[in-house]
Amino acid sequence: MSKKKIIIDFIKLNHWLNARKITNKFIDKKQKTLSKKLSLKKNFTISPKELNFVNSDLSIPTEKIILQNKIPDYILWTKSKIDKTKRPIKRDGIHFYNYYSLPIPNGFVGPVILDILCPKNRLPKLNNGHLEQAITINLGNSDIYGRWGKKKNKINFSKIKFNSSSINSWIVGDTYVEPTYCPHSYSRATDYNSQILSYTAKSPLEKFVKNLNNWSKSNYENLMKNIKSKNLRASILKLYLDNKGVDLKYLSKKIKVKVKSLEQIINNKRILIITCKFLKINFNLFDKNNYTSEDGIGKTYLSYKDSFKTIRKFKSYTIASMASSERYSDLFGYFIKVLGSKKVKDLCDYASSHYLVTDGNFSFNIDNKSIKIKKGDAIWMSSFKLHGFSGKGSLLKISNGENLDTSDLTEILNIYKPFETLDRSYKDRTSWGYE
């Protein structure tokens, strides 16, 4: 065992003790030193013996209760600091990219800036894709080619353009959203340097995949066997029915509709609504979405000229949309034009986000400070923190749902007495009772 001191977050451990219905009185009989530490209701250093008791006797893993760094309100990195993260990437035997990291708190998924170095006369070798979906923006100073498949066609190989005109230059270029495990690669379309921002998002599957990889192989194979079907929605509905001990005969009797197949339920909205109501599951889970904005490989594309059509006023700013996808409601972004002298703090978002300054020299306003920022600087911003910008310049903003995402908001909407529940949940040090 490591000699490094392990500090336990009392609030986290207290949550697990409450969930497991374990009182300090019980712990006192087994592990008196730990009991004394718990009685203080403060964070504490845990001994190897105490930790072994928590892990083995209480079945609470260390990673669930260890003290972590607090999430900051914001992180600001200058261009020079970002430049220091430069790391050359080789692919296909050539210097293919330079990668640069943008600021993130520990444990968060982070975006990167890429220098596109693969020459224009060379078909860029594909990567293998990754679990996380992403928004990609051409930052300039030139057009590039994007490749997304082995076959060279309009869907798999096309230009991602840079806005080289003086018209709405704050909308810097084309944007697109790529899906999970989509192979992709880029090359120059000209002889000039170009950069992209690849804003990788936290995957909605992250939590499930983490658990999935701890399953046995037979469990995984049974999962795939149960969902492998031409009609995935029907397969998922069957999982619900089986889990609740309901077959089609019993279902037909209870909903008073003759049901002969799962497909009949899925393809009939009226029957599906009745079925979901009986099973007490959310109908929206099975509501079919055709995702009409996607192309044949799951990309959603928006040219900078189409971004022009979305220009609008928003609070103290002029903004324009980037590409977005119905599949990833937490992954979105927009271009921002700053043109105002008043030191406003009029932005406050539910999810964490990133800003990248694309032009100008202006102010980032937060708390009682007004911090000068310029082209190439980047900011990571936490949830529900008032901030704003003043002066003259432009930046882009992208959010990916970390800190608070759609699934969290769905849960909040479904909580009985949500305000009271959230109020109790924040830094809860209360025991569950019986002491």
DSSP code at position 54: I
pTM, to two decimals: 0.90
Predicted confidence at residue 347, as pLDDT, reads 96
> What is the Cα–Cα distance from 373 to 354, expressed in whole angstroms?
14
Asked whether this chain's domains 83-200 and 303-399 adopt the same fold, the reply is: yes
pLDDT in tens, 359-395: 999 999 999 999 999 999 999 999 999 999 999 999 9
For the cut 70, the answer to whether the pLDDT of residue 3 exceeds it is no
Q: How confident is the model at residue 4 (pLDDT cuts 50, 70, 90)?
A: confident
Which CATH architecture describes the domain 207-285?
Orthogonal Bundle (1.10)
Q: What is the pLDDT of residues 213-263, one digit of tens each?
A: 999 999 999 999 999 888 999 999 999 999 999 999 999 999 999 999 999
Say yes or no to pLDDT of 1 above 50. Answer: no
pLDDT digits (tens, 9 = 90+) for 304-344: 999 999 999 999 999 999 999 988 889 999 999 999 999 99
Residues 66-87, mean pLDDT to the nearest whole number = 96
pLDDT tens sequence across 342-354? 999 999 999 999 9
Q: For residue range 99-122, what is the model confidence (pLDDT) as tens digits?
A: 999 999 998 988 999 999 999 999
Sign of the torsion formed by the C-alpha atoms of 159, 164, 169 and 172: positive
Beta-carbon contacts of 86 under 8 Å, excluding residues fewer than 6 positions away, are: 98, 99, 100
82 vs 403 pLDDT, higher one: 82
When the pLDDT of each residue in the chain is averaged and rounded to a whole number, the result is 94
Question: What single letter denotes the amino acid at residue 77?
Answer: W
Task: Pull the structure tokens for residue 352.
Answer: 């964490």
Nearest to 355 by CA among 396, 301, 306, 412: 396
What is the reported pLDDT for 291? 79
| Residue 344 one-letter amino acid | V
The proportion of the chain whose per-residue pLDDT surpasses 90, expressed as a percent, equals 85
Q: How far apart are CA 408 and CA 349, in angstroms?
A: 14
Per-residue pLDDT at 435? 56
CATH class of segment(s) 303-399: mainly beta
Which of 335, 331, 348 shows the shortest CA–CA distance to 402? 331
DSSP structural state of residue 153: S
For the domain 83-200, what is the CATH code? 2.60.120.10
- pLDDT, position 23: 92
* Domain locations in the chain as residue ranges: 1-68+406-435, 83-200, 207-285, 303-399
Alpha-carbon span 199 to 114, nearest angstrom: 11
